[in-house]
Structure 1
Amino acid sequence: MDSMVIQILTWVLHPKVWRFVGFASSIVGLLCYALSSSFNYLFGHWNLLKIFLYSIFSLIISIIILFANIWKHSTTHRLKAHAAFLVLTITSLYSFFFDKVVNGKPDAYSLMSCAAFSIMLLSLSRQIQCGFEIDLMYFFLGSLIVQLMKIKLELCILGVGFSYLIIFIRSVFSSINVVIYNQDPISLQVVVNSDSQQLASTDIRSSMAEQLSNCVNVLRQENSNLIDMLLEQLKEYLGDDSELTVSDPNFEAVLRPKENSNLMIDALPPETIENLHKIAKLMVSAGFEKYFSDVYISCRRGSLDESLSKLGFQKVSIEEVQNVSWGNFKQKIERWIKASNVAFKILFPTERRLCDRVFFGFSSAADLSFTGVCRESTLQLLNFADAIALGSRSPERLFRVLDVFETIRDLIPEFESMLGGLLQNEATTIWKRLGEAIRGIFMELENRIRHDSGREASPSGGLHAITRYVMNYLCIACESWQTLEQVFEENHGNLLKEYPKIEDRMHSSSALSVQMNWIMELLESNLEAKTKIYKDPALFYVFLMNNCMYMVHKTKDKILETILGDAVIQKYTAKIQQHRENYQRISWNKVLDILKLDSNGSMQPNEVAESMKQKLKSFNMLFDEICRVHSSWSVIDEQLKEEIRISIKKTLLPAYGNFIGRFRSVPELGKHADKYIKYEADNIEARIEGLFEGCNLSTGS
C-alpha cells in the first residue's frame, strides 16, 4: 500500500505531468472564455478574422505554457520585471471590462474559464519561479469567487473551497520532495523544507548519491571476479602461443560471445542490478538523470579499463606505439587483437545488456550511458590501430599490419550493431589508413629491390639473397591474398596506369596479380643489373638461370600461381631456357669449334698430323679449364642441372668421338696416336657429370 502511495505521489509531483496539466487547462480556459458572454460583450460577435486572430493568440499562449519550464533557468531580473508589468497591465484592463460585464449574471463559460486559468497558473508556478504567476492565480481565483457570489451568495462556499484547494496544492510544491530513505534504498519519505527548496534538492541528491554509491561499489567489486572468470573461459584463446584471429573459423567457437556475455550478466548479484534499476527510476523521475548517468558511467568505465588491462592491453600514446622495439611490437599487436576481439564480442555486449537492465524503461538514458562507458575504451583501441597505420613502412611490418587491418575490418559491423554507429566513421577511416599503409609497405619493398646494390653475389653463380627474400616474402604475403586483393583493389586504377604493360601480358588483371607481377619484374631487372659483377659471361647466365628457376619454383606455390596465372610461369621458364642456351653457346661452342675437322685437302700428311695433335692439345687444355671452373659453379635445381649435363653430352661426345676416330686414323701418327689422347669418351662423360657441384642450395627455402 505504501509503495502504491509513493508511486502516485511521485507521479503527481513529476514536472512533465504539470506541463501537460498547464497546457490542457490553457486550452480549456481559452476555449471557454471565447464562448463566454464576457467575450461577446467586449469584442462583439465572432467573424472569420476574429476567429483567426484569437486562434493564433491562443496557440501562442498554449505553447508558452507548454514550454514555460525553460524560464526556470533564467536569471535575468529585467525580463521578469517586464513580464510582471505586462501581466499587471493586462489584468487591470481585464478587471476594468469585467466590472462592466458583471452587472448581469456571468454564464458557465466564464466560471469555467476562470477555474481553468487558475489551474493553468498553478501548473506554471510548478515550472517557473517568476512570482507573477502566483499573483495571476490569486486574481482568477478571486474573479471566480465574485462571479459565483453574483449568481448566488451561497455559491461562495464552493468558490472558497476550490480556491483553498488550489492554494494548498501550490504550498505543497514548496515543501514536498521525494528522497531515498537511508535504511531502505527503495523506499521514500516526505521531507518538509520550509527554508529553502534548493537545500531540499541538495539533500535529495545527497541521499540518492549515497545509495547509488553503495550499489556501484558492489558492482565494481564484482567486476574483478567476473573478468577472472572470463579469463579462465578464454584461456585457450588468450594463451601466449595462440594465433587465433577473428577471421579464423574457430574464433566464434572459442569466444562464444553471446554465451559469455550472458554468463557475465548472470554472474552478477541480481539484487544489485535490481536496486540500481530502482534507484535509476527514482532519480530520473526526480530530475537527477544526468547525475545518476555520470556516476554509473564513471563506475563502469573504470571496470572496463580494468578488464582490458587484465587482457594485456594498456593505454599508450601514438608516439609510444611508434617507438616500440620490434620484439615488443609483435607482442603488443597480438595483445591488442585479442583485447579488441574480447571487448567487442563480449565486454561491450555485456555492458549493453547491463545498461538495458539498469535503465529499463529509459531507453535514451540507457543509450547515453552505454556510449559513455564504451567510448573511451573504443577510442584507445582505435588510437592503437591508427598508430600502426601511421608507423614505419618497413616491409617486415607487413604481416602485423595485415593482422590489424583484418581485425578492424571484421569489427566495423560491431560499431553499427553494438555501438549504434558510434565512432564508425573513425574506425572506417583508420581501416582505410591501414590499407594505405599496406600499399606503402609494398612501395617500400619496390624501393628496396630497385636500390639493392649488394655486391655479395655468390662466386658460384648461386641464388642471390634478394631473390630468396622477395620470393619468400611474396609467398607468405599471398597467404593473406583475399585481404591484399581488397587492399589493392581500391588502388587498381592507379596500378594499371603505373604498370600498363603488365596487364597486357597477363591473363588475370586483378589488382593483386598486377602488383605481384610488377615486383617480380623489378626483381628480374635488379638481377640482370647484378650480372655485371661477373667477368665470365657464362657465369652470369648460370646466375640468371638459378635465380629465375627459384622464382619459378616459388611461383608454383599454389596460392601465388593462382594469383599470377600460368603465363608468368611460362614466361620465366622460357627465360631459363634462353639463359641455358646462352650458357652453352658461350662455354661449349669454343670446344666444339676446336673439334671440327679440317676440310683442306691441299695439306700434306705431316701437316694434317701436326694440326690434329695441336687441336687435341687445345681441346684438352680448354676442356680441363672449363671443367675445373664450372665444377665450382652451382646449379641449384637438380633437374635443370641434369638437363644441362645431358645437353652438353649430346653435343660434345659425338663431336669428340668423331675427332678421336679421325685422329687415330692418321697414318703419320700410327701406333703412337694413343699417347696423345688424354680422355676417352667415358672420361669426358665423367668430367661432365662433375659440373655445377659447387654449392647446392635447396629450392624449398
Structure 2
Amino acid sequence: MAEDGEEKLLATVQHIVQTLGRTDTMTEDILKVFSNYDGRLTLDKLYATRAAVAAAGVGGAGERSMPASPPMPPPPAAPSAAAGVPPVTSLERTVRTLDRQISQFVTMDRLIWADSADADAFLEAVDDLIGTVQELDAAGTNRGLLDRADELLSRCMARLEDEFRALIERPDDAAPQVPGGFGSDDSEEEDYDADDGYGDEPIPIAKPVTDFDVVIDALPPGSVSDVHQIARRMVDAGFGRECAEAYAAARRGFIDESVARLGIRSRTVDEVHSSPWEELEFDIARWIPAFKMVFRILIPSERRLCDRVFEGLAPYGDLAFVAAVRTQALQLISFGDAVAAASRAPERLFRVIDMYEAVRDLLPDLNPVFSDPYSAALRAEVSAVCSTLGSSIKGIFMELENLIRRDPARVAVPGGGIHPITRYVMNYLRAACGSRQTLEEVMEGDLGAVGAAAIAIDPDRPTSSLAVHIAWIMDVLHKNLETKSKIYRDPPLASIFLMNNGKYIIHKVNDSELGILLGDEWMKQMMSRVRRWSMEYQRGAWAKVLSVLQTGGPGIGSISTKAMLQKMRMFDGYLEEICAVQSDWVIADEQLRADVKAAIADSVMPAYTGLITKLKSSPEAARDLFIKYTPEDVEARIQHLFEGVSK
C-alpha cells in the first residue's frame, strides 16, 4: 500500500508539473518545491517519473490529464533509457540552480554589497556561472543551454555594474552593515565621516590646496577591494569595456564636482575671445591654481585609484582612467589654447607667462601618469598647449614692436620731457625680464625673420634669442623717438627731448637684467648718443651767444669799445631770450641736468667774464659802463634752466 501511495503521489506531482510548468524554469522550480516538501519526492524520482510520462505520451497523445491508472515508476536507469527523451545533464541542472540563486540577487531592491554575506554568495554564484558558460562554450554541443546561460550572465553583469557604480559613487551607502565586513575598520575610513567638511554631499570633493605633494583617496580601502572584485568578474566574463565605462561614468561626477569647487567653468573659444581683458585676467588667475590642482593632485590620484581597482586587468584600467579624466582635462587645456589664440596685446604677456610656466613645470610629472598608449594623447595635448602659449609669448613681443611703430608723433611732450611710450616700453621690458629664464627658453631657436635680418650681431653683445629680440625692440623705440623729436620746431628742444628719453632708457637698462641682455657695447653706444645730443643742444641753443662774446682771437684784431658795448647789449638780449624760452624746458635726470648746466657755464662764463674785464679796462667805456648782468647773475640764470617751471 505504501508503494501504491507513493506512486499516486508521484503521478499527482507530474500532473501538476505538466499543468503548471509552462517553461523549463517553472518546471524546475515546481520540482524543487516538491522535493523540499516531502522526502519521498527526491529529484531523481521526480525526473524519472517525468521521463516515463513523457515516454508514454510519445506517439502523439500529448494529453495533460491525469491517467486513470498511474504507471509504475521506472527503474533508476529509466531516464537515460527512455526512448526519444534526452536526459537532464549536470550542466542543465547547474544552470537551473544558478538561475534560481542569481535571480534572488539581481531582483533585490537594495544593494547586494550592503550585506557582506550576500556579496560573497553572489560573487561565488557569478564565478560558477562564468565557469559554466566557458565549459558550455568549449563543448559547443548545446547551443540553447549556452544562450540561456549567456542571458543569465548578462543579467548578472548588469547588476554587477549597478553595484560597481554604487560602491564608487556612494561608498558609505554601500558599506556592509555586518561586523567584520568590508569597511568595518573605522581607522581606515576616518577621512570619510560626517564631519569631514563636505556637508551633505554624497561624493567627497577635493578641497583646494597649495601643497601639491599629496594624494586624494576618494574611496575607503574596503570599497576599493570590493570594486576590484567586481571588476575582475566583469573582465573575466568579457565585459571589461563595460566595466571601464561604468567606472568612468561614476568617477566623472567626483572630478566634475572637484573642478567646479576650484571656480572653473566651461567657456567656448568665442566667449574667451570676446571677454574683456579684466574679466579674462580674473579667469586666468583662477585657472592657474586649478590647472596645477587637477594635473598634480586630482589626475594622479585618479590614476592611483584606477590602478588599484583594475590591478592586473590591463588595458581596461587605462581605458577607464582616460575616460574618467579626459573631459575636465580637455576643458582646462582648451581654455589655455583659447587664451593663447586670443588678442596678443602686450599687457597680456605676464598672465600668459604665468600660464606657460604652470604647464611647463608639471610636464615632467605627467610622464608616469600618462604612460599608457590610451592616455598618451592627453599628455601630447598638455605639451601642445605649452607650445601654443610659448608661441603666444613670442607673438606678444612682435605686437609690442608693432605698437611702438604705430605710436603716432602727433603731440610734443611739453618741455621735451620723457615720452609715455618710452616709459611704457622700458617698464614693460624690465618687468618682462623678471621672467628672463622663461623668455630665454621660449625665444631660443626663433630669432624671427625681421629681427635676425635687421640686427647685426655684435661679438661683444649677448646674442641669445631674447637678447636679439630686446635689442630689436630698443632699435625700434629709438627710431620712433627720433621721428617724434622732429615735431619740435626748436632743434635744441628736440635735442633735449632725445637726451631725456635716452637717459631714461640708460637708467632702466642699468637697473635691471636688461643690461645683461643688451651688453656693455650697447650701453656705450647709448651713452655716446646722449653726449652727442647734449653737444647738439649746446651748439644750437648757445652758438649765437658764444659768437657775440668773442672779442678776439688768432687772426682777429682788437675790436673797438663801441663794438664790445654792442656785444654786451646783444648778449643781454640773447640771454633773456634763451631763459624765457628754455625756462619751461626740462631735463628729468638730475645728473644730466647738472652736467648740461656745467657745460653751458664752462663755455659761456669765461667768455662773458673776459668781455666785462676788457670793457672795464677801456678808458672810453669805464665811465659810462652799465653791466645789466654780473657774472654771478648769468651763472644764476643758467642754474635756473631745465627745471620745468618759469623762474
What is the match of residue 632 of structure 2?
682
Deviation at 1:548, TM superposition (A): 0.3
Cα distance in 1 for residues equivalent to 2:553 and 2:95:
135
For the structure 1 residues 316 and 600, does the alpha-carbon distance in structure 2 shift closer, same or farther, using more than 3 Å as the test?
A: closer
What is the match of residue 577 of structure 1?
531
For the structure 1 residues 493 and 227, does the alpha-carbon distance in structure 2 shift closer, same or farther, using more than 3 Å as the test?
A: farther
Question: Quick one: which of 221, 227, 240 aligns to 1:289?
Answer: 240
For the structure 1 residues 547 and 626, does the alpha-carbon distance in structure 2 shift closer, same or farther, using more than 3 Å as the test?
A: same
Q: Is the 8 A contact 2:549 2:611 kept in 1?
A: yes
Task: Give CA-to-partner distance per residue, 1:417-442, whole Å, 9 cap, x none.
Answer: 21223322222232222222111111
What is the match of residue 390 of structure 1?
341
Question: Quick one: which of 280, 285, 288 aligns to 1:337?
Answer: 288
Cα distance in 2 for residues equivalent to 1:329 and 1:383:
14
What is the match of residue 391 of structure 2?
436
Task: Give CA-to-partner distance per residue, 1:260-287, whole Å, 9 cap, x none.
Answer: 21xx31x743322222122222222233
Cα distance in 2 for residues equivalent to 1:628 and 1:638:
21
Cα distance in 1 for residues equivalent to 2:205 and 2:563:
93
What is the match of residue 520 of structure 2?
566
Deviation at 1:174, TM superposition (A): 5.7
What is the match of residue 487 of structure 2?
533
Q: Is the 8 A contact 2:584 2:644 kept in 1?
A: yes
Q: Is the 8 A contact 1:415 1:422 kept in 2?
A: no
2:600 pairs with 1:648: yes
What is the match of residue 180 of structure 2?
none
What is the match of residue 315 of structure 1?
266
Task: Give CA-to-partner distance per residue, 1:72-99, whole Å, 9 cap, x none.
Answer: xxxxxxxxxxxxxxxxxxxxxxxxxxxx
Number of equivalent positions: 506
Question: Quick one: which of 490, 493, 517 aligns to 2:445?
Answer: 490
Deviation at 1:232, TM superposition (A): 5.8
What is the match of residue 359 of structure 2?
408
For the structure 1 residues 358 and 598, does the alpha-carbon distance in structure 2 shift closer, same or farther, using more than 3 Å as the test?
A: closer
Deviation at 1:516, TM superposition (A): 0.3
Cα distance in 1 for residues equivalent to 2:504 and 2:262:
43
Give every structure 1 segment of 4 or more consecutive aligned residues whose post-TM-superposition deviation is greater than 3 Å.
166-183, 189-199, 219-233, 493-497, 598-603
What is the match of residue 53 of structure 2?
none
Deviation at 1:659, TM superposition (A): 0.2
Structure 1 range deviating more: 412-421 or 365-374: 412-421
Cα distance in 2 for residues equivalent to 1:476 and 1:695:
32
Q: Is the 8 A contact 2:207 2:258 kept in 1?
A: no
Q: SS in structure 2 opposite 1:540?
A: helix
2:382 pairs with 1:427: yes
Question: Quick one: which of 629, 638, 642 aligns to 1:692?
Answer: 642
Structure 2 unaligned blocks of 5 or more: 1-80, 82-86, 106-111, 130-143, 174-191
Cα distance in 2 for residues equivalent to 1:473 and 1:449:
12
Q: Is the 8 A contact 1:185 1:211 kept in 2?
A: no
Cα distance in 1 for residues equivalent to 2:232 and 2:505:
71
Cα distance in 1 for residues equivalent to 2:257 and 2:452:
50
Residue identity in the other structure for 1:643: D
Q: Is the 8 A contact 2:169 2:251 kept in 1?
A: no
Q: Is the 8 A contact 2:561 2:621 kept in 1?
A: yes
Q: SS in structure 2 opposite 1:409?
A: helix
Deviation at 1:500, TM superposition (A): 3.9
Deviation at 1:211, TM superposition (A): 2.1
Cα distance in 2 for residues equivalent to 1:220 and 1:595:
102
Question: Quick one: which of 587, 593, 599 aligns to 1:635?
Answer: 587
Q: Is the 8 A contact 1:653 1:681 kept in 2?
A: yes
Residue identity in the other structure for 1:448: L
2:317 pairs with 1:366: yes
Cα distance in 2 for residues equivalent to 1:695 and 1:200:
98
Q: SS in structure 2 opposite 1:492?
A: coil
Residue identity in the other structure for 2:487: I
Question: Quick one: which of 364, 376, 395 aligns to 2:327?
Answer: 376
What is the match of residue 243 of structure 1?
none
Cα distance in 2 for residues equivalent to 1:435 and 1:218:
43
2:121 pairs with 1:187: yes
Cα distance in 2 for residues equivalent to 1:578 and 1:384:
51
2:253 pairs with 1:302: yes
What is the match of residue 612 of structure 2?
660
Cα distance in 1 for residues equivalent to 2:554 and 2:88:
145
Q: Is the 8 A contact 2:498 2:533 kept in 1?
A: yes
What is the match of residue 212 of structure 1?
164
What is the match of residue 589 of structure 1?
543
Task: Give CA-to-partner distance per residue, 1:298-328, whole Å, 9 cap, x none.
Answer: 1111210110110111111111111221111
Task: Give CA-to-partner distance per residue, 1:323-361, whole Å, 9 cap, x none.
Answer: 221111111111111111011111112111211222223
What is the match of residue 13 of structure 2?
none
Question: Quick one: which of 464, 469, 474 aligns to 1:520?
Answer: 474
2:462 pairs with 1:508: yes
How do residues 434-473 of structure 1 correspond to structure 2 at under 5 angstroms?
Answer: 434-473=389-428
Please report the RMSD computed on the Cα atoms of aligned residues, expressed in angstroms: 3.2
Cα distance in 2 for residues equivalent to 1:602 and 1:296:
105
For the structure 1 residues 601 and 542, does the alpha-carbon distance in structure 2 shift closer, same or farther, using more than 3 Å as the test?
A: closer
Question: Quick one: which of 534, 550, 565 aligns to 2:504?
Answer: 550
Cα distance in 2 for residues equivalent to 1:653 and 1:617:
16
What is the match of residue 560 of structure 2?
608
Between the aligned residues of both structures, percent identity stands at 37
> What is the TM-score with the length of structure 2 in the denominator?
0.72
Cα distance in 1 for residues equivalent to 2:408 and 2:172:
61
Deviation at 1:363, TM superposition (A): 3.4
